[in-house]
Amino acid sequence: MSQGYTTGGPEPASAYGNGTYHDPVSEYGVPQQRTMDTEPEPPAPAPAPETKKAPGRDRYLDLLRSIALVRVVVYHIFGWAWLTVLFPSMGVMFALAGSLMARSLSRPALGVIRGRVRRLLPPMWAFGVVVLTLLFVGGWNPTRNTDDGPLWALLKLFNYLVPIGAPPYPWSIGSKSGWLEQTWAVQAAGPLWYLRAYLWFVIASPLLLWALRRFPWPTLLAPLALTAVVGTGLVKIPGETGNAVTDFAVYGGCWILGFAHHEGLLKEIPRYIAVSCAALVMAFGLWWASGHLGPDGWDLNDIPLAQATWSFGFVVILLQYSPSWQELPGRLAKWDKLVTLSNNRAVTIYLWHNMLIMATVPLIDLAYSLPFMEDPSASSALDTTYSLWMFCLVWPLIGLAILTFGWVEDLAAKRRPRLWPNGVRRGGGGGSRRRS
């Protein structure tokens, strides 16, 4: 993943003054008289030149990404709609990616885009190889049960390699007695929409950053306006093209907020004004959601305009209070290794988590064959706590996926492959750490 974040620190005090020089001898501008018996003080030694601190990772942003990943996993296990209101993970993740993209665009744009695409594709190829192998072994034929012609149906498989569109998959495959439930392919392909949106944001970033620097407020608010058009049914774009445009609009504001954070635009706005306006935008989002509840109630994923406005305001507040930590402070420091690991393997965790959630089902079902499970109360207790067991089992499986596939992220970033990059330097160093 990314090499790190840097954000502008607080400006020196002189930036807030009027630039007037004050005589250091007299605080009030009145020169002091020097008497005959007063020896002049020797000049103070020149201060040692400051060593410029090398830019490192912004641990506050790293922490936000880790929280977002955990929230995504929890949501996909328990399905709690209120989690989309409590912490809009996808908006936060797009904002963080946008901030990093803006930082990278200090270099030539074509090379930056090529580097971002290179980091994204190899982990997806590893994922696609496993998923397609399981599908073909399970007897899936992409040219059947589809409205597309055979050639076009085969060409759509390209989306498992480069996510420019929606990859094909069967809605049901296998049998009820199989190791994976019949909808596993739908669940496995679910996260790929994020990679598609991310790819299009990366490609559009040079133009978006140019627009933000010249027309900041229209550029920042344009995605919300676009969402009001395509996300409310006012203008309907059919098929996956419509889904892609809607995703781009819903989360485009968060991506550009990441730009604004890096450019220092958000810091130019007084905090009380930014937070007050963000709260109004969020309130509008909740008001809109209240009148357009979907099949899962307050799940903002089903209400594009509410998702866009709530995520936008939420991200504004998070970035306004961004403390730019170089190290996790206080009690948060004990999570340092996990935060580092999750950021170094964010693509792997996101790609594989849904499929691994499905993999917990046959493992838990093995418990029903234990002798004591013949007791109806024991079986009922397992039924009641089934999702909790899924939550407990998925993390070891995610750890196994990190060990098995995570090193591909290092190859994609042209780094030495590492099995468990949690920031601890191996082979000596007395437990010292390095950020990566």
Cα–Cα distances in Å, from 83 out to 68, 77, 183, 381, 434?
11, 12, 23, 25, 33
- Tell whether the torsion through CA atoms of 86, 89, 94 and 99 is positive or negative: positive
C-alpha 203/C-alpha 104 separation (Å) is 13
Residue with tokens 């493992």: 363
User: What b/e sequence results for 296-320 when a residue is b if at least 16 CB atoms lie within 10 Å of its CB, and e otherwise?
Assistant: eebbbebbbbbbbbbbbbbbbebbb
Return the structure tokens found at 147.
């409205």
C-alpha 115/C-alpha 293 separation (Å) is 40
For Cα atoms 182, 188, 194, give the angle at the middle one, nearest 5 degrees: 150
Q: H helices of 346-436, where?
A: 346-365, 376-384, 386-405, 407-412
Cα–Cα distances in Å, from 139 out to 99, 133, 177, 229?
43, 10, 16, 41
C-alpha 40/C-alpha 37 separation (Å) is 10
Quote the DSSP letter at residue 156: G
Coil, strand or helix at 71: helix
pTM here is 0.84
Query: For each of the chain's 436 residues, which pLDDT tens digit applies?
Result: 444 333 343 333 333 333 333 443 333 333 333 333 444 445 555 544 443 444 568 999 999 999 999 999 999 999 999 999 999 999 999 999 999 999 999 999 999 999 999 999 999 999 999 999 999 999 999 998 888 888 999 999 999 999 998 999 999 988 777 777 889 999 999 999 999 999 999 999 999 999 999 999 999 999 999 999 999 999 999 988 999 999 999 999 999 999 999 999 999 999 999 999 999 999 999 999 999 999 999 999 999 999 999 999 999 999 999 898 999 999 999 999 999 999 999 999 999 999 999 999 999 999 999 999 989 999 999 999 999 999 999 999 999 999 999 999 999 999 999 999 998 876 544 444 444 4
C-alpha 6/C-alpha 54 separation (Å) is 10
C-alpha 154/C-alpha 141 separation (Å) is 9
* CB distance 133 to 292 below 8 Å: no
User: What's the one-letter identity of residue 408?
Assistant: V
* CB distance 224 to 253 below 8 Å: yes
